[in-house]
């Protein structure tokens, strides 16, 4: 799977010489290094497949060596900015001294003429060769659950270093297994201090990432991008739309108020949220006795959080996982190869994790070593490894750095990281100074919106990528929901048309009672009985439509989660609060790191057009702006 690839004209000349079915002459004059770009892979019906390309079809000049001094790479000092504001650092250029080796047949140059015609021809040739190579159409990833989706334009060629989180990023845990055991340890700790937990079981479908705990009211809520609450659950019972409006009609979710709101940033939040909501039920029904002291919902949240924290600190959970990693980790054979491509492309690879050394080493060995070639180990992939990083403070302030010098984990203080080193603690600024790479030359990839993505961007201006495994399931659920959503939108559009007429007749009736003429002569001439009967009929139709639409809206998204609907949406058209956070802080987002394997380390990700409410010229009535709710 590939997205639309754009390269500089200098790259296009080199690509043409290598990939066109006929050799061509490249004319030096039109070439503008690093400044102009051609888009490959425009959407159109594919041409009939030509025969498999021969060697002469693939290379215009058999005497020209691959690479060598034919190409040059734009350095940091020689870089500029392209028309999208991205650095041209890392762009590949064709040295003009070698242009004479590209000779056209019959003396014709296929790169002469209007660029629109040249680009169309080049794109067709590129698509043909991609097909012969067995590589999917570049635009196909936009329609794939394993695509990499772009919120802010990102040129991977200009990235010098890529940092990775480990848990739920470089390795994905089986949520039922990992979070289920975390839940079990949490409940055991609650039982030890007197909480009634018998009969409770882990239910991963009770919550999803991106929800917000209201610690004051014992509720779990789903908010839209503006912070308005659309769905809510008290304990384990979903609240009605009326109840949600009565409780939160004048309130917005404000994540800055940490004493009240707790955002579920990551899959690690699942076990805690499930335990808390179940204990809210026990507090409400009086099962939790006064022997534990006076408890409100906020105090209960602290007790659950403390019990889960003990499960992590005491080490029993991680010891169990280390002893049998195959029960908890879902292997991904493509992942190490994706990182190997990046390393061989000259990227500095960093591992920055909050996990300790022993756990990190054990889990990375299990997840990586068996899939690497030539007896490579996981440490060979990374230029710098930092364990016990203490994120988000790692991005916010400076902490002492220690070098891990023995396999047992013994450490000594140090002030600068060296290539190939293994370290504990430290800070992001130390990493930048050690590599002499700063700011937007570094891409950081993690699964936690706050700890990994927002803080590295806000404090250091690193480029960011979010890993959200649930995207794959949501994408498939959205595909299966297309018929349901189409029917729902059609009903809403019908309600809008009927409602428009009803409102006009209502206004005509209002004017008539005041002795004024209606909006038009025809409306003015309607007799009273005709006007009244028409309004009655329309009102009945709208009421029946409302009942049907309400039921269908409640069911929208249930193929992903029956309680909360889709991860990225709040309502039929609006984005969820989670999606707003992703768009704000993550330049790109995807379901797993191995999706990079289906692109190249030289990919130029371009963000898509962002539609506005007044972009009516670009949307049909069927799938466009939200219908206006009609007053009755």
Q: What is the CA radius of gyration of the chain?
A: 30
Mean pLDDT of 67-96: 82
The confidence score (pLDDT) of residue 12 equals 40
CA distance readout (Å), 258 to 87, 215, 253, 254, 580:
37, 10, 11, 8, 18
Structure tokens at 507: 């206004």
Q: 161-171+332-465: CATH homologous superfamily?
A: HAD superfamily/HAD-like (3.40.50.1000)
Confidence band of 617 (pLDDT split at 50, 70, 90): low
CA distance readout (Å), 377 to 94, 166, 340, 360:
36, 16, 11, 13
pLDDT value at 188 more than 80: yes
* Tens digit of each residue's pLDDT (9 = 90 or more) over 410-455: 899 998 999 999 999 999 999 999 999 999 999 999 999 999 999 9
Least confident piece of the model among 38-42, 181-185, 618-622? 38-42
Q: Tokens 């140090």 — which residue?
A: 414
Bigger pLDDT: 619 vs 600: 600
Q: What are phi and psi of 547, to 5 degrees?
A: -60, -45
Bigger pLDDT: 136 vs 126: 126
The confidence score (pLDDT) of residue 585 equals 96
pLDDT value at 249 more than 50: yes
Q: What are phi and psi of 352, to 5 degrees?
A: -130, 105
Q: β-strand 212-214 against 261-263: which pairing, if any?
A: antiparallel
Cα dihedral across residues 310, 316, 319, 323: positive or negative: negative
* Tens digit of each residue's pLDDT (9 = 90 or more) over 542-557: 999 999 999 999 899 9
CA distance readout (Å), 472 to 95, 164, 311, 468:
43, 21, 30, 9
Looking at every residue in the chain, the average pLDDT score rounds to 85
Going by C-alpha positions, the residue among 38, 29, 30, 41 that lies closest to residue 11 is: 38
Provide CB contacts within 8 A for 415, sequence distance 6+.
401, 430
Confidence band of 69 (pLDDT split at 50, 70, 90): confident
* Tens digit of each residue's pLDDT (9 = 90 or more) over 562-592: 999 999 999 888 999 999 999 999 999 999 9
Considering 6-15, 42-51, 82-91, 479-488, the range whose residues carry the highest mean pLDDT is: 479-488
Domain assignments of the chain as residue spans, ordered by start: 114-143, 161-171+332-465, 175-324, 471-566
- Note whether 92 and 75 are within 8 A (CB): no
- On the 0-12 / 13-18 / 19+ scale of CB atoms within 10 A, 521 is exposed
The confidence score (pLDDT) of residue 75 equals 87
Residue count (the chain): 632
Task: Please state, as a whole number, how many other Cβ atoms lie within 10 Å of the Cβ of residue 136.
Answer: 13
- Note whether 184 and 202 are within 8 A (CB): yes
Provide CB contacts within 8 A for 598, sequence distance 6+.
1, 2, 141, 146
CA distance readout (Å), 575 to 223, 572, 583, 615, 631:
9, 9, 10, 17, 25
| Angle in degrees, CA 48, 51, 53, rounded to 5 | 120
Going by C-alpha positions, the residue among 417, 358, 425 that lies closest to residue 382 is: 417
Q: Tokens 């005709």 — which residue?
A: 530
Confidence band of 131 (pLDDT split at 50, 70, 90): confident
E-assigned strand segments in 122-177: 148-150, 154-155, 161-164, 172-173
Q: Tokens 């193929």 — which residue?
A: 559
The confidence score (pLDDT) of residue 303 equals 95
- Note whether 456 and 254 are within 8 A (CB): no
- On the 0-12 / 13-18 / 19+ scale of CB atoms within 10 A, 24 is buried
Confidence band of 98 (pLDDT split at 50, 70, 90): low
pTM of the model: 0.83
* Tens digit of each residue's pLDDT (9 = 90 or more) over 528-540: 899 999 999 999 9
CA distance readout (Å), 533 to 307, 499, 502, 530, 545:
65, 15, 11, 5, 18
- Note whether 122 and 16 are within 8 A (CB): yes
The DSSP H or E segment spanning 478 is helix 470-480
Mean pLDDT of 34-53: 42
Mean pLDDT of 81-110: 69
Going by C-alpha positions, the residue among 213, 275, 219 that lies closest to residue 244 is: 219
- Note whether 207 and 274 are within 8 A (CB): yes
* Tens digit of each residue's pLDDT (9 = 90 or more) over 347-402: 999 999 999 999 999 999 999 999 999 989 999 999 999 999 999 999 999 999 99
The confidence score (pLDDT) of residue 1 equals 39
The confidence score (pLDDT) of residue 316 equals 83
Bigger pLDDT: 627 vs 323: 323
Structure tokens at 75: 């350095």
Task: Please state, as a whole number, how many other Cβ atoms lie within 10 Å of the Cβ of residue 166.
Answer: 22
E-assigned strand segments in 251-400: 261-263, 329-330, 348-352, 384-387
The confidence score (pLDDT) of residue 534 equals 94
- In whole angstroms, give the CA distance from residue 347 to residue 115: 33
- On the 0-12 / 13-18 / 19+ scale of CB atoms within 10 A, 522 is exposed
Confidence band of 115 (pLDDT split at 50, 70, 90): confident
DSSP secondary structure string for all residues of 232-282: EEETTEEPPHHHHHHHHTT----TT-TTTEEE--STTHHHHHHHHHHHHHH
- Note whether 556 and 478 are within 8 A (CB): no
pLDDT value at 169 more than 90: yes
Beta bridge partners of 220: 213, 233
Provide CB contacts within 8 A for 193, sequence distance 6+.
292, 303, 307
Q: Treating both helix axes as pointing N-terminal to C-terminal, what angle do 175-192 and 297-313 enclose, rounded to 10 degrees?
A: 110
Going by C-alpha positions, the residue among 568, 576, 440 that lies closest to residue 152 is: 440
Beta bridge partners of 467: 590
DSSP conformational letter for 107: G
């Amino acid at each position: 799977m590939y997205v639309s690839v754009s390269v500089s004209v200098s790259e296009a000349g080199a690509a043409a010489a290598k990939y066109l079915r006929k050799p061509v002459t490249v004319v030096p004059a039109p070439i503008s290094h690093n400044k102009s770009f051609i888009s490959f892979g425009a959407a159109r019906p594919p041409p009939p497949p030509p025969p498999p390309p021969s060697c002469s079809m693939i290379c215009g000049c058999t005497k020209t060596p691959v690479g060598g001094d034919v190409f040059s790479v734009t350095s940091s000092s020689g870089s500029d900015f392209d028309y999208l504001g991205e650095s041209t650092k890392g762009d590949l250029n064709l040295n003009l001294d070698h242009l004479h080796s590209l000779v056209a047949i019959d003396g014709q140059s296929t790169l002469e003429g209007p660029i629109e015609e040249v680009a169309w021809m080049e794109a067709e040739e590129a698509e043909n060769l991609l097909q012969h190579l067995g590589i999917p159409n570049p635009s196909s990833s936009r329609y794939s659950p394993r695509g990499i989706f772009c919120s802010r334009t990102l040129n991977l060629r200009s990235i010098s270093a890529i940092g990775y989180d480990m848990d739920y990023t470089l390795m994905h845990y089986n949520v039922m297994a990992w979070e289920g055991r975390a839940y079990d340890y949490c409940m055991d700790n609650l039982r030890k201090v007197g909480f009634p937990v018998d009969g409770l079981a882990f239910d991963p479908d009770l919550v999803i990432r991106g929800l917000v705990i209201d610690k004051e009211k014992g509720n779990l809520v789903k908010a839209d991008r503006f912070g308005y609450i659309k769905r809510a659950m008290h304990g384990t019972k979903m609240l009605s739309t009326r109840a949600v409006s009565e409780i939160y009609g004048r309130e917005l979710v404000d994540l800055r108020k940490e004493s009240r709101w707790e955002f579920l940033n990551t899959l690690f939040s699942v076990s805690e949220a499930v335990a808390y909501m179940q204990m809210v039920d026990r507090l409400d029904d009086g099962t939790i006795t006064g022997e534990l002291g006076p408890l409100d919902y906020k105090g209960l949240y602290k007790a659950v959080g403390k019990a889960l924290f003990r499960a992590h600190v005491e080490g029993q959970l991680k010891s169990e996982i280390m002893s049998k990693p195959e029960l908890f980790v879902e292997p991904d054979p493509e992942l190490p190869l994706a990182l190997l491509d990046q390393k061989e492309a000259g990227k500095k690879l960093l591992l920055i994790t909050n996990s300790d050394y022993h756990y990190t080493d054990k889990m990375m060995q299990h997840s990586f070593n068996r899939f690497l070639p030539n007896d490579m180990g996981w440490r060979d992939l990374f230029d710098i490894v930092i364990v016990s990083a203490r994120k988000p403070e790692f991005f916010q302030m400076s902490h002492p750095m220690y070098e891990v010098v023995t396999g047992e984990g013994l450490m000594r203080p140090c002030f600068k990281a060296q290539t190939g080193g293994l370290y504990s603690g430290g800070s992001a600024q130390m990493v930048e100074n050690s590599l002499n790479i700063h700011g937007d030359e570094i891409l950081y990839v993690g699964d936690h919106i706050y700890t990994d993505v927002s803080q590295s961007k806000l404090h250091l201006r690193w480029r960011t990528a979010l890993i959200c495994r649930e995207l794959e399931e949501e994408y498939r659920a959205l595909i299966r929901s297309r018929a349901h959503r189409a029917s729902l939108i059609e009903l809403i559009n019908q309600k809008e048309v009927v409602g428009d007429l009803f409102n006009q007749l209502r206004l005509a009736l209002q004017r008539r009672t005041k002795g004024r003429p209606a909006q038009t002569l025809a409306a003015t001439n309607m007799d009273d009985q005709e006007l009244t009967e028409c309004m009655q009929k329309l009102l009945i139709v709208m009421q029946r439509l409302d009942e049907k639409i309400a039921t269908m809206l409640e069911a929208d998204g249930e193929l992903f989660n029956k309680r909360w609907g889709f991860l990225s949406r709040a309502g039929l058209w609006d984005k969820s609060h989670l999606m707003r956070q992703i768009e704000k802080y993550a330049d790109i987002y995807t379901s797993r790191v191995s999706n990079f394997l289906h692109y190249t380390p030289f990919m130029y990700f371009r963000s898509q057009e962002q539609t506005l409410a007044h972009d009516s010229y670009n949307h049909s009535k069927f799938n466009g702006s939200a219908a206006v709710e009609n007053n009755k």
